[in-house]
Chains A and B, each alone.
Chain A
Amino acid sequence: MSVLSSVSVRRPSRLDRAKAQVGWLSALLLLVILVVWEAAVRMLDIPAIVLPTPIAVFEALGEGLGTGSYLPHIAVTFTEIICGFLAGAGLGIALGILIGQSLFLERLLYPYVVAFQTVPKVAIAPIIVIWFGYGLSSKVIITAAIAFFPLLANTIVGLRSAPTEQIDMLRAHTATEWQIFRMSRLPQALPFIFVGLDVAIVLSVIGAIVGEFVGAKEGLGFLILQKNFNFDMAGVFAILLVLSLIGVGLHLLMTTIQRRVLFWANSNQIHVTGL
C-alpha cells in the first residue's frame, strides 16, 4: 500500500525562541525610555504643564482608576468603539460581498466608495455631530465610517483570491454558484477579512476619539479635552495610556480569534491591508 511518505508536523522553531527574546528586549527598552524621561524632566526642570514625569502620569492613572472617575467615560468610549466597529465592519463585509459578486457591480459602485474614502472622516465629523447630536449615535457613525473601508477592500480582494482550480473542481462536481461561494470563496476570503478587522478595530479607537473631540459630554476624548483645558498634563497622558491599552487589548483579542478561526492558514501568506 506504500504509505512511505512522511507527515510534516509544526514544532516550535528557533524563530519562536528568537521572538520571545525580542519581547524581553522590547520591555527593557520601555523601562530605559521611562527612566531617561523621568530623569530628563527632573534635571531640565521642564514644567509639569509642558511634560509630566512618568511617575506623575502613573499617579494620575492610579487616582483616576482608583476613585472610579474614569470608569463611566471608559464605558462610553468602549461602547462607541465596539458599536461603531461592528456597524462599519458589518457594512464593509456586506457591501464587499455584494460588489465581489460581479465586475459589473464593482465598476458601478467602487468609484463612489473610493471617493467616499478620500474624504477625511475628521472633516465630516462636525457635520455628523450636527445631524446626529452629541450622544452615542454620532460617535458610532463616525467610527463606522472609518472602520468600513478596510473591510470592504479586503473582502473584495479576498473573495477574488480563490484559486481557479478550486472553483473548477467544485463546478465540475456540479456545485452551484452559492455552493462555490460557501465552500471556497468565503473561506478563502477569511484571512483577508481578518486583516481588515484588525486594522479596523484599531482605527475604531481613533474614530470614537475624533467624534468626542468634535462634540461630546462624556467619554475619554471628552475627558482629554477637559484635562487639557485645566492644564492637567499628567491626566491627559494617563488617559492616552488607557486608550492605547484598550487598542492593544482589542488588537490582541482580534489576533487570538483569528488564530483560532484560521488554524489552517499559512502564517506567512501576504495580505493586503486595504489602507
Chain B
Amino acid sequence: MHAIQRSAVVAPVAREKKALVTISSLEKRYRSRDRADVHALCDINLAIEDGSFVTIVGPSGCGKSTLLRILAGILARSSGSVRMGQTEIDGPSRQVGVVFQSPVLLPWRTVVDNVMVPSEVQRLDLGAARKRARELLALVGLADFEDRYPGELSGGMQQRVGICRALVHQPSVLLMDEPFGALDAMTRETMNVELLRIWREQNITIILVTHSIPEAIFLADRVVVMTPRPGRVAEVVDVHLPRPRTLAMFNTPDFGRYVTTIRRHFGSVGTE
C-alpha cells in the first residue's frame, strides 16, 4: 500500500531479522458528531521484529491505547496499513494475546477456567488447554490458586492470571496496555522481572505500552517514544543493556543515559 516514508524511524536492525508486525503510514481519527474530530495517531511507521520486546512510551492521551487496540484488531484504523507477517490485520487474530490495564477476569469462573477463555473461544483441545493453563499458572507462582475465584486474589495475582490467559492459546504476539499501571511500585518491579522470564521461556513477541520511562527501558529491546497528541513516533531507541536484566540495572549510568535520552522528548512535562 503506502511506502514507508519516515525510514529514519525504522532502524537498520529491522532488516537483519524478520519483521513480524509492520505498521506503515497508520492514521487514526476518532470521528464524532457533536465535537471536533480527535486526531489520535499521525503517520505511524514501525517494524517490529519477531521475538523482540518492544515498549511504547508516551504521555497520557498520546494514542498508545489506540495503537494497541488497532494492533489487537478491535479498533478500525482510518488509513494506512498494519500487517502481521504478510497478512493485513482486519480484525482480531488467533495469533494475538492481549492484557489490559485491569485484569478483566470473569468473577464467576475459577482462576484456571479464566485462563482457559481464549482456548474455549477458539475451540482448541480443552484437555491440552487445561494442561497448558496449569503450567502457565505454575510459571507465575499461582499453582495453588487454580481453583480459587478471582475475588479471592490480590491485584497483582489477578494481573498474573490475565497474563496467563493471554498466553494460553500460544499466540505469537502479546499486546499489553499498561499492564502494571494499577500495581504498587514493589509488585510492579517483581512483575517486570517475571514478565522478562516469561518472554524468554515462551519465545514470543511482546509489545507493551507504558507511561513509565524506566519500565519501558528495563523491559525493551527497543523503546518507541511517542509525542503528545496527535501521536507520532518521536524516536525509536535501541536498548543495549545486557540480558538477563536485573533490578540493579536501574541504578547504572547506562540506564540513566537512556532515561535522559527519552525524557528529552517530553521537556518539562515528563510522563511520570
Contacts and interface: CB of A to CB of B under 8 A. Distances in A.
A9 B155 CA distance: 14
B94 A184 contact: no
Contact of A7 (B98, B104, B154): B154
Interface in A237-264: 263-264
A264 B108 contact: yes
A184 B106 contact: yes
A2 B190 contact: yes
Interface stretch (B44-52, B117-125, B214-222, B231-239): B117-125
A165 B107 contact: no
Contacts of A184: 106
Interface string B133-175: 0000000111001001101111111000000000001000001
B93 interface: yes
Contacts of A173: 92, 96-98, 117-118, 121-122, 169
B96 A172 contact: yes
B230 interface: no
Contacts of A163: 104
- Among A2, A7, A163, A264, residue most surrounded by chain B Cβ atoms (within 10 Å): A2
Instruction: List the 9 shortest-distance A-B pairs measured between CB atoms, nearest first.
Output: A5-B154, A1-B141, A173-B118, A172-B98, A264-B107, A264-B108, A172-B72, A175-B121, A174-B92
Nearest to A184: B106
Nearest to A6: B154
B78 interface: no
Interface of A is mostly: loop
A181 to B, nearest CB: 12
B141 A3 contact: yes
Nearest to B184: A5
Interface in A1-39: 1-3, 5-9
B8 to A, nearest CB: 32
Interface in B41-100: 69, 72-74, 92-94, 96-98, 100
Nearest to B69: A168
Interface of B: 69, 72-74, 92-94, 96-98, 100, 102, 104, 106-108, 117-118, 120-122, 140-142, 145, 148-149, 151-157, 169, 175, 187, 190, 194
Given A8-B152, A174-B94, 6 more contacts: A3-B141, A8-B154, A168-B74, A172-B98, A179-B121, A266-B151
A173 to B, nearest CB: 4
Contacts of B97: 173
B153 A7 contact: yes
B92 A183 contact: no
Nearest to A3: B141
A166 interface: yes
Nearest to A261: B108
Contact of A166 (B74, B104, B152): B104
B157 A265 contact: no
Contacts of A168: 69, 74, 98, 100
Nearest to B156: A5
- Among B69, B104, B149, residue most surrounded by chain A Cβ atoms (within 10 Å): B104
A169 B121 contact: no
A135 interface: no
A187 interface: yes
Contacts of B98: 168-169, 172-173
A171 interface: yes
Contacts of A170: 117, 121
A163 B145 CA distance: 25
6 contacts: A7-B145, A7-B152, A173-B169, A183-B106, A263-B108, A265-B107
